[in-house]
Amino acid sequence: MTKAQVVLPRTGTETLLEPHTKAARLRALLYSPELSFLMEAHDGLSAKIVEESGFKGIWASGLAISAALGVRDNNEASWTQVIDVLEFMSDATTIPILVDGDTGYGNFNNMRRLVKKLCQRGIAGVCIEDKLFPKTNSFLGDGQPLADIGEFCGKIKAGKDSQTDEDFCLVARIEALVGGWGHDEALRRADAYAEAGADAILVHSKKSAADEILAFMREWSGRCPIVIVPTMFYGTPTDVLHKAGVSTVIWANHNIRAAISAMQEVCRRIQSEHSLVGVEGEIATLQEVFRLAGNSELADAERRYGKAREEIRAIVIAASRGADLGELTKDRPKCMIDVRGRPLLRRLVSTLRKGGVRDVTVVRGYKKEAIDLPSINTVDNDAYATTGEAASLACAASHLEGGCVVSYGDILFRRYILDALLHGRGDIVLAVDALSADKRRGGAGRAADLVSCSRRFTGNYLLEKEPAFLRRIANNLEPESVDGEWIGLARLSARGSELVRGEIAAMAEDGSLASASLLDVFSRLIEKGETISVIYIAGNWLDVDDVFDLAEARNFL
Ligand code: SPV
Ligand code: MG
């Protein structure tokens, strides 16, 4: 008999249409005139590897799953624990899985629930064996007792009546040969199980030659496909099995055995060599682990669905000396003055990084070699002595792109101020200290960056949620119109960066750039009708212009 003689089309459409469900594909494998192969897998990873290797179906081996879980093949893992493993295997693959359902984990009733759950989890079929629960692996001991035929047929019928996928396959496994009950008993059972509705019969043997399988095949009526497991008679040429009419061969445990050998060898070497050097070139790379896990798909999905997290960069303008600090800035710019053991700029960069701003570009000028922080970009304004902040920012124009924070290099601020700016609405948003207003209205102190806004700071929790807008920004506003002081920190959206870049280019063109401050840049944008938003803060920042500021900085930290 050849396999082609087994004619049991389920719906008559299998040969015409490519089967869509996993169960239909398993059915097609069982009924195909070609010899089919199922390869063992015991977890999501091994299942993926089986599929990648070109196999059309998976054998979810009870022995291998148990071994991978560190337990014996004696129903020590509960059926729901096995189902959890199967779910990972099924999720990880697109080919059908025939699961080794042992004895069905109990009687007909347990079998009903098992089949329902397997259908729910996308498992294509189950194989149950006619032994007693709890089972023992077929290769252990002799003369294992068999289930009563009638009772086992009831289990088959219960399983078939419970499937919710019409193509789900139930394979009935005959242990008569393994248990030493003989050829006739095996055939008697095969007939009974086919009659009860089994979609295929697995006839098992633990002999090292295939004689008893071949004898079985000679007398088998062919009423349903035959599946075999040549673990012991592996020496029999596969072609001989095909010619005998076998439908499907299960390579039952070779991935778990390969894994065991590989893990034992790598453990032995690392343990004896106390080094990874010897094994590194011989094991899968981490890249291979990531590839198998499908990390590239996640990266694609992140791009498609992930929260659009704008990469914000920062430009820190730190070109000036800070002459008011006298001797302290003789050999370094003021941004590198030590404030409690760390240069001011290092503290500023650290605050930016903690706020999620990783790409920081510092515009250097005076004593530029003293700015030697690791992992910052630097650009130089070599004309620092004769130019202002706008020209310094122009030197970093190529970094002024996308979301961008612009900061003076001599300020320190609490991180929540940066957070508020980053979350504030608007293309250009300035942090403005409202508490400075009184001080500055009196005209006291050095020239501050004063602002006049669309509304004053209220201190009111709800009102402060509404943005205020910049009307004017200058060092010399009339005291009564001052609403606060810009602290030297701004956040630009991609459009904001473009606007500022454009304005700087225009200033370079009209010759006003060299002497311009950032206040001039913002003022020109307002004049052009652009909106600049303001977030009011109340203190909690400082700039370091002179030794008094420096003393205050020590208290701030
Ligand atoms: C299994 O792989 O768990 C099997 C096949 O049941 S065998 O180990 O050959 O019995
Ligand atoms: Mg098994």
Residues flanking ligand 1, CB < 6 Å: 61-64, 100, 137-138, 229, 231, 252-253
Q: Label the pairing between strands 36-41 and 248-251.
A: parallel
> What's the pLDDT tens digit per position in 487-527?
999 999 999 999 999 999 999 999 999 999 999 999 999 99
Atom of ligand 1 nearest to the CA of 178: 10
Atom of ligand 1 nearest to the CA of 129: 6
Instruction: Tell whether the model's pLDDT for residue 9 goes beyond 70.
Output: no
Kindly report the number of other CB atoms within 10 A of residue 123's CB atom.
29
Read off the pLDDT of each residue in 18-34 and give the average, rounded to a whole number. Answer: 94
Instruction: Tell whether the model's pLDDT for residue 440 goes beyond 70.
Output: no
- Residue whose Cα lies nearest atom 5 of ligand 1: it is 252
Read off the pLDDT of each residue in 422-435 and give the average, rounded to a whole number. Answer: 92
Mean predicted lDDT score pLDDT of the chain: 91
Atom of ligand 1 nearest to the CA of 252: 2
**Pocket of ligand 1, candidates 86, 131, 137, 144: which has the most ligand atoms within 8 Å of its Cβ, to mutate?**
137
> What's the pLDDT tens digit per position in 188-208?
999 999 999 999 999 999 999
Atom of ligand 1 nearest to the CA of 62: 3
**Pocket of ligand 1, candidates 42, 61, 98: which has the most ligand atoms within 8 Å of its Cβ, to mutate?**
61
Q: Label the pairing between strands 541-543 and 58-60.
A: unpaired
> Among all chains, which residue has been given the structure tokens 């011989």?
282
> Among all chains, which residue has been given the structure tokens 């730190």?
318
Q: Which tokens is 122 given?
A: 């996308």
Q: Which tokens is 528 given?
A: 């052009």
Instruction: Tell whether the model's pLDDT for residue 13 goes beyond 90.
Output: no
In sequence order, what E strands does 365-443 have?
377-380, 404-408, 411-413, 428-433
User: Would you state the pLDDT for residue 437?
Assistant: 63
Instruction: Tell whether the model's pLDDT for residue 444 goes beyond 70.
Output: no
Residues marked active site are found at 73
- Residue whose Cα lies nearest atom 7 of ligand 1: it is 138
> What's the pLDDT tens digit per position in 377-417?
999 999 998 999 999 999 999 999 999 999 999 999 999 99
The confidence band for 184, taking pLDDT boundaries of 50, 70 and 90, is: very high
> What's the pLDDT tens digit per position in 233-270?
999 999 999 999 999 999 999 999 999 999 999 999 99
Which residue did the predictor score with more confidence, 129 or 18?
A: 129
Ligand 1 centroid–CA 137 distance in Å is 7
The single-letter DSSP state of residue 145 is P
Read off the pLDDT of each residue in 60-65 and give the average, rounded to a whole number. Answer: 98
3-class state of residue 92 by DSSP: coil
User: Would you state the pLDDT for residue 347?
Assistant: 92
The confidence band for 445, taking pLDDT boundaries of 50, 70 and 90, is: very low
Q: Which tokens is 258 given?
A: 């390969």
Ligand 1 centroid–CA 374 distance in Å is 60
User: Would you state the pLDDT for residue 256?
Assistant: 98
Instruction: Tell whether the model's pLDDT for residue 469 goes beyond 80.
Output: yes
Read off the pLDDT of each residue in 107-132 and give the average, rounded to a whole number. Answer: 97
Q: Say which amino acid occupies 159.
A: G
Single pTM value for the model? 0.68
- Residue whose Cα lies nearest atom 2 of ligand 1: it is 61
Q: Are 514 and 387 in contact (CB under 8 A)?
A: yes
- Report the percentage of the chain scoring pLDDT > 90: 75
The confidence band for 292, taking pLDDT boundaries of 50, 70 and 90, is: very high
Q: Is 17 exposed, middle or buried (0-12, 13-18, 19+ CB in 10 A)?
A: exposed
The confidence band for 12, taking pLDDT boundaries of 50, 70 and 90, is: very low
The confidence band for 14, taking pLDDT boundaries of 50, 70 and 90, is: very low
Which residue did the predictor score with more confidence, 440 or 153?
A: 153
Ligand 1 centroid–CA 64 distance in Å is 8
Which residue did the predictor score with more confidence, 276 or 375?
A: 276
The confidence band for 439, taking pLDDT boundaries of 50, 70 and 90, is: low
Q: Are 128 and 104 in contact (CB under 8 A)?
A: yes
CA distance 305 to 298: 10
Read off the pLDDT of each residue in 68-89 and give the average, rounded to a whole number. Answer: 98
- Report the percentage of the chain scoring pLDDT > 70: 94
The confidence band for 465, taking pLDDT boundaries of 50, 70 and 90, is: confident
User: Would you state the pLDDT for residue 413?
Assistant: 93
The confidence band for 84, taking pLDDT boundaries of 50, 70 and 90, is: very high
User: Would you state the pLDDT for residue 4?
Assistant: 43
CA 502 to chain centre: 39
User: Would you state the pLDDT for residue 11?
Assistant: 46
Find the range with the poorest average confidence among 99-103, 236-240, 375-379, 463-467: 463-467
Residues in contact with 202: Cβ distance below 8 Å, sequence separation at least 6, in sequence order: 127, 129, 171, 172, 173, 174, 226, 227, 228, 229, 250
The confidence band for 446, taking pLDDT boundaries of 50, 70 and 90, is: low
CA of 179, nearest ligand number: 1
Q: Are 407 and 486 in contact (CB under 8 A)?
A: no
Instruction: Tell whether the model's pLDDT for residue 17 goes beyond 70.
Output: no
CA distance 148 to 151: 5
Instruction: Tell whether the model's pLDDT for residue 443 goes beyond 60.
Output: no
Torsion on CA atoms 481, 487, 488, 494, rounded to nearest 10 = -80
User: Would you state the pLDDT for residue 543?
Assistant: 84
User: Would you state the pLDDT for residue 552?
Assistant: 77
Instruction: Tell whether the model's pLDDT for residue 171 goes beyond 90.
Output: yes
